Amino acid sequence: MIALAADPGGRPVAYADLERDGHIDHLYCHPDAGGHGPGTALLLTLETLARSRGLPGLYAEASETARPLFERLGFSIRHRRAFERDGVGLHNYSMSRELSARPDGTGPTPVTDALVAKYMGKERSDRNAPYHRVVAFGDSPEMMDNLAQLALSGTKRATAGLLRDFAGGEPMPHVGCLAVLLDGSGTPSAIWKTMELLIGPLIAVDAAFARDEGEGKRTRSDWRAMHRLYFKRQAERGGFLFHDHIPTVFERFEVVWSIAATELRRQDCAGGTVLLRSRFRT
């Protein structure tokens, strides 16, 4: 499976290749794209795909240049590999990472598995449900309720999160993947499909994306003001430095199923769904 990353103009700037057994055969980023997050985004996307296939882990042979990126994303060095090519001595690192349960306890549950399986038109079978994310908008129950309603009404068709959060355990979205949206009580309210994914500095948001987020005045200036406040709160909690050029994941989505109350019992959701410690603003 090959994953591609493109710039805002649609030009490919990076790619990665995941083989059936979890081997990352290639990871390449154009030099001009270095430092802007495509390598991180691709590796996190491969992790999500590997989980969807039920793979126990990932492994790769990383160059000296790529080694720090793999280490930041939880890969460990198994051994250093020395070899020769055309009479030139070379080396790389055999690295691997186990895909154990997420450290923050988030992710699909039997309840969300059953809902996604039902949406897909399958018989109720947790094992048959495709891998999906479990997400919520905001950092308070009230905000989560309000933003979930905006998504259900069709006003909100986009969301933004910091790239660093996905490196911390949150599953990386990719075009076509599904997500179960929770409200402020942790109850599933909708399923959405990712339609577009862009990565860039926070300040690079454009007017069209700000409008699609559906919040506040729906202008670029208002979007920037709200998100600065939100991500500054997150930075204070997480102990990291916030700045206008912090790498950000801009995601557009389409709600494909609004989950009616009759589709689930609240007590099932309370016991089976883990509320994501939300890192999304909208």
pLDDT for 206-244, tens place per residue?
999 999 999 999 999 999 999 999 999 999 998 999 999
Give me the residue spans of the domains in the chain. Answer: 2-98, 110-272
Average pLDDT over residues 169-183: 85
pLDDT of residue 126: 43
Check pLDDT > 50 for residue 281: no
pLDDT of residue 266: 43
Residue 94 CB-density burial (10 A; 0-12 exposed, 13-18 middle, 19+ buried): middle
Query: Could you tell me the CATH superfamily of domain 110-272?
Result: Sulfate adenylyltransferase (3.10.400.10)
The structural architecture, per CATH, of the domain 2-98 is 3-Layer(aba) Sandwich (3.40)
Higher pLDDT, 182 or 33: 182
DSSP string, 227-266: HHHHHHHHHHHHT----TT-EEEEEEEEEEEE--GGGS-H
pLDDT tens per residue, range 84-123: 888 899 999 999 998 865 544 457 788 888 888 888 885 4
Residue 125 CB-density burial (10 A; 0-12 exposed, 13-18 middle, 19+ buried): exposed
pLDDT tens per residue, range 112-128: 888 888 888 854 444 45
Confidence tier at 275 by pLDDT (50, 70, 90): very low
Check pLDDT > 90 for residue 60: yes
Is pTM beyond 0.75? Reply is no
